[in-house]
Structure 1
């Protein structure tokens, strides 16, 4: 993984190069789900691990794959492709689970691959355009232009709001 350099302009007054204060820098982990690139705040990520089978739980939404045992912690695991309404992922050993913490709750996100660590100035994060309903639109918090592509910034809080799961996997307030 390579870190994307943010293009923070430098002030060359009096020969001393200093960053121009435009806003706070943020880091995100970017990953692929299908052909799309998404990102989440790096501060929510506990670890990234290869795919392992989960133990299914009864009466859960399709996107809840079940739970996995992560060194004694039971972690509910969610298929982001299915959560976005794109069908269930046919898992392979090449898929990855991003372990995140959302509102003091640990959970796993099944993705196709982790791509990069992005460091961007908050001024570079564009708002989500107002448009007709698109897949996963209610989970978006911004768009980050990266070279010729766009990386969609996800809000984990919106993605996993109270009541979106069965009672055994609710995110604690």
Structure 2
């Protein structure tokens, strides 16, 4: 199953339906690179927490299929899949972020990302929806001691009764410990 995302039209509060295509747009704030000031975010769950990433980085959402494992790789690197002729590395964000359990079920999906021209898959517990957040709804990431790496958190948003952690997925996937995308590529 696959849901292809296009930036041709606008969807401010749509709930993606796995298996069906739906066009999703991006705001002018994101096009200017102001991802931490608001814009449209795809929200997903990792354990009990809910995260948001810029919709412009999302290529499609697919149901989880076991990838081909690569020997001697990090535990969070699940392997590779063939996506219409493109070999795509798959990273389990639940394992990367140390979630208590990383159970594969019918809600588990792979968010296919396009990061600096490279296609990468991220396994998450489930996809929630697409939200448009005004800049004033986003607060800066909290300052936490050096024992906690918050460099990928761009902000925190309070949406209704839930807390949303906004993540710079490009910085995360480009980090040296991931080894997926050359940091020198700009």
Structures share fold, TM-score greater than 0.5: yes
TM-aligned CA deviation for residue 136 of structure 1: 5.5
TM-aligned CA deviation for residue 61 of structure 1: 1.2
Alignment of 1:160-171 (within 5 A): 160-166=173-179, 169-171=180-182
Alignment partner of 1:33 is 2:37: no
Aligned with 2:139: secondary structure? coil
- Counterpart of 2:64 in structure 1 is 51
Deviates more, 1:154-163 or 1:51-60: 154-163
- Counterpart of 2:17 in structure 1 is none
1: CA distance between counterparts of 2:118 and 2:86? 11
Task: Please report the RMSD computed on the Cα atoms of aligned residues, expressed in angstroms.
Answer: 2.4
2: CA distance between counterparts of 1:91 and 1:158? 26
TM-aligned CA deviation for residue 60 of structure 1: 1.6
Alignment partner of 1:74 is 2:87: yes
Deviates more, 1:155-164 or 1:26-35: 155-164
- Counterpart of 1:64 in structure 2 is 77
For structure 2, list consecutive stretches of 5 or more residues without a partner in the other structure: 1-10, 15-33
- Counterpart of 1:154 in structure 2 is 167
State whether residues 42 and 53 of structure 2, in contact with CA within 8 Å, keep that contact through their aligned partners in structure 1: yes
The structure whose residues are more often strand, as a share, is 1
Instruction: Decide which of 102, 113, 124 is 1:100's aligned counterpart.
Output: 113
Instruction: Compute the TM-score of the two structures, normalised by the length of structure 2.
Output: 0.73
**Aligned CA distance change for structure 1 residues 50 and 68 (closer, same or farther; 3 Å):** same
Alignment partner of 1:114 is 2:124: no
- Counterpart of 1:126 in structure 2 is 139
Instruction: Compute the TM-score of the two structures, normalised by the length of structure 1.
Output: 0.79
- Counterpart of 1:3 in structure 2 is 13
The one-character-per-residue Cα deviations of 1:20-53 (angstroms, maximum 9, x if unpaired) are xxx9761000000111000100000000010111
TM-aligned CA deviation for residue 163 of structure 1: 2.2
For structure 1, list consecutive stretches of 5 or more residues without a partner in the other structure: 5-22
**Aligned CA distance change for structure 1 residues 69 and 38 (closer, same or farther; 3 Å):** same
2: CA distance between counterparts of 1:101 and 1:148? 31
Aligned with 2:174: secondary structure? coil
1: CA distance between counterparts of 2:174 and 2:151? 11
